[in-house]
Structure formats: C-alpha cells, structure tokens
Structure 1
Amino acid sequence: MKAAFHLATLPWIAALAAAPLAARAQDEPPFEVTLDMDSDGRMDRAAIAADPDSGLADLLIYLAAGEGKLDPARKPDFVKKALTEDRILGLESSGKGSLVITSCFGCGASKSTEETLTVVYRRGKFLVGGYSRSWDWGEQEADGTVETTLGGCDINYLTGKATVSKDLEAGRPIKGKFKPVPLKDWSYEKRPNACEF
C-alpha cells in the first residue's frame, strides 16, 4: 500500500476511534455483515466480537441466519477464536460470497501495518482464500533521522499465486504454490516469509 493511502485514511480512522461506544447498540457486535457464503440462496451472517477474557477479536459465522434480528440464544455454526490481535477496521462481503476482514496495527501511525483476510466457503469448509498485508514502518536512527520501510504482499490461495513489493516498486511474483488454508487452522504464522519486513 502506498503511503498516500495511509494519509487518506487517517481522518477516517481518527473518527472511528473517537466514536463513542455508547452510540453502538448494546446487543449487536460492532462489525456484522450478511452474505450468502455457502451459495444455498439463504443469507448467512458473520460478526466480529471481542472475547471477554482475552479482548482479542473472534469471528462468528451463522449459516442461514442473515434475515432479521439474530436470536441471542442461537450458537454460531463456526467460531474462529483470536482471529487477530490487531484492531478490526472492517468486515464486508466481496459480493461473491467471500467475507473480507480488514485489520491494522498502528493504524496510520509511524509504525503501522494493515492486513486483509478473505474467507470463503468451499465443499463444506471455511477456508482462507486470500491474505494481503502492507506496511509503513518508520524506525528512528541514532542520528535522529527516520528510516522508513514500505511494502506489501498479496496472496491468492485459490489461484496459488502471490506477489510482494518493497518500497514503491511494482509487485513481483513470490515463488511457490499456495493452497487454501482451513480457517480453523489459520494463524498469521502461516503467511509466507515474503510478507515479513
């Protein structure tokens, strides 16, 4: 991601952070979306909720529960505990039954990263179909100057292809094949070394 994008998102992030929690409904998670993940013609529901013990973001998926208000007694069909330690920025549908979760660390500060995880439903399983990460990382040197590292990676686990970029150069292919990862097994340790900086 280019630095300009970080600067453009700063006002939005600041407004989101300043929004009072009381303004949100008490019984609804702050991030929720309806979509037809399993392509059965009925809307499903996905939500992000903070785990009361750890404070980490959990992903909850309810199949065939997208219409109307969710029964609070209903248990989710799938739960991914501790999806990320980072701050969730967004949860949305790609329009093709894919769930897209965006999170950030630093969120536009001098040391920040942004990650996007794409979740799909194939053959009865929730899978990680895509992962991207961008970084804009500033390190203060002993002489007072700041060394900035820019870059990003984009992995399409469905096609098996991936790219990486450093500084503002165009993305170049990452060698190797990438296969979808079961969401239940996903952790950020599963990302390739090219996504580190």
Structure 2
Amino acid sequence: MVALAATPKPTLAENPAALELKLDIDQDGETDRAVIMQEPGGPASLYIYLGEEKQDPSRKPDLLRMGLTEDRVIDLQSNGKGSLAITSCFGCGASRSTEETVTIVYRKGRFLVGGYSRSWDWNQQTSSGVETTLGGCDINYLTGKGTVSKDLEAAKPINRRFKPISLKDWSSSSRPRACTFGAG
C-alpha cells in the first residue's frame, strides 16, 4: 500500500499543467492514454496507460518516466500508427531557442525512442550586428538513418547507423552529437 501511495498519479482536474492524448500506442485496437505532467519551470513526467480510454485515478500507469525533459512541453501528437511524439522547447521563439521532438513507440513489449528531431535558432549580438545560427537534425532510430542541417544548407545524411534506445535509458545526453547546438 505504501508503494502505491508514493507513486505520483496525474490528476487533470487539479493540475492545469497537464497534456493528454488518446492513441493506440501498442497497436492492439484498444485506446491507450498518454499524459504529460509538468509544473512551470520543472521537468516533465510522462504517464502511459495501456487499454485505458477513460481516466481511472486509482490505476497505476503502465509506464512512468519522470524527468523526460527539462524544457517546456508544448505538444503531444500521434501519427495514427502507434507513435507518440512529444515536442518541447527552450526559449520558445526567443532570440535563443531550441525545439525538440522525441517520438516514442511500443515494440515487443518495450517502450522505445524511435525518433528524435531538434532544431535551433540562436541569435547572438556582435559588434557588427546580430549573428544567427540555424540548424537541426532528424534521427529515425527505427530505420537507423539520420540527417543534419546547418544554417540554410540542405540536410545531409549522418554517416552512422542508429539503434532504438529504451525510453527508460533516454536522456538529453543520449542524443547524437550532430543534434547538439554548435556541433559540427
């Protein structure tokens, strides 16, 4: 009983800092539910309930991933093929901002990071004006391929193969070097 009491449960009515999405992440024909809870300025936590169309506050989540991102989560989406895309931003349109999307899939009974994309738009005041650095990357861990772009150049393939990463092992340090602002 103590373990259940210690497990945080999302309560949408009491917490306006929650995003919710219904989808079929495990592709079994039943509706699943994903919830992101995030206090202003705090890390985001992801709750996934398999086979739960309606909220049941007493039910323990099938997945609880605390501290998924420190950035502000701005969107949850599903492509209808079982993936969950969580988009967050730092700066969110300010003169120094990044946006990233982590795509989560459920394969062979495991939650995996199946994709990751990141873009940045960084403006720095210099003595001769404003210097802007643009860039981005897109990694598909399921196909093993990725691309990277810098400034206004077309995206170029990354010369390495990628493998899916377990969601429990994912962190910002898991992202490829090409997806780090300023890497090159």
Separation (CA, whole Å) in 2 of partners of 1:113 and 1:30: 21
Asked whether 1:97 is paired with 2:85, we answer no
1:107 is matched with 92
Asked whether 1:85 is paired with 2:73, we answer no
Separation (CA, whole Å) in 2 of partners of 1:62 and 1:30: 15
Counterpart AA for 2:51: A
Instruction: Tell me whether 144-153 or 77-86 shows the greater mean CA deviation.
Output: 144-153
Q: Report the CA distance shift for 1:113/1:28 in structure 2 as closer, same or farther (over 3 A).
A: closer
Q: By how many angstroms is 1:56 displaced?
A: 1.0
1:127 is matched with 112
Q: By how many angstroms is 1:150 displaced?
A: 0.2
Alignment coverage as a number of residue pairs: 170
Counterpart among 166, 169, 172 of residue 156 in structure 2: 172
1:61-97 CA-partner distances (Å, limit 9, x unpaired): 001012x3x1111111101110000011101111111
1:59 is matched with 46
Separation (CA, whole Å) in 2 of partners of 1:95 and 1:107: 27
Separation (CA, whole Å) in 2 of partners of 1:25 and 1:93: 23
1:31 is matched with 19
Aligned residues of 2:27 and 2:81 also touching (Cα < 8 A): no
Separation (CA, whole Å) in 2 of partners of 1:109 and 1:34: 31
Separation (CA, whole Å) in 1 of partners of 2:39 and 2:48: 15
Q: Which runs of 4+ in 1 moved over 3 A?
A: none
SS of equivalent residue, structure 1 residue 120: strand
Counterpart AA for 1:189: S
Separation (CA, whole Å) in 2 of partners of 1:111 and 1:93: 28
Pick the structure with more helix per residue: 1
Counterpart AA for 2:52: A
Stretches of structure 1 that go unaligned for 5 or more consecutive residues are 1-23
TM-score by length of 2: 0.87
RMSD, matched Cα: 1.8
Q: By how many angstroms is 1:51 displaced?
A: 6.4
Q: By how many angstroms is 1:25 displaced?
A: 3.8
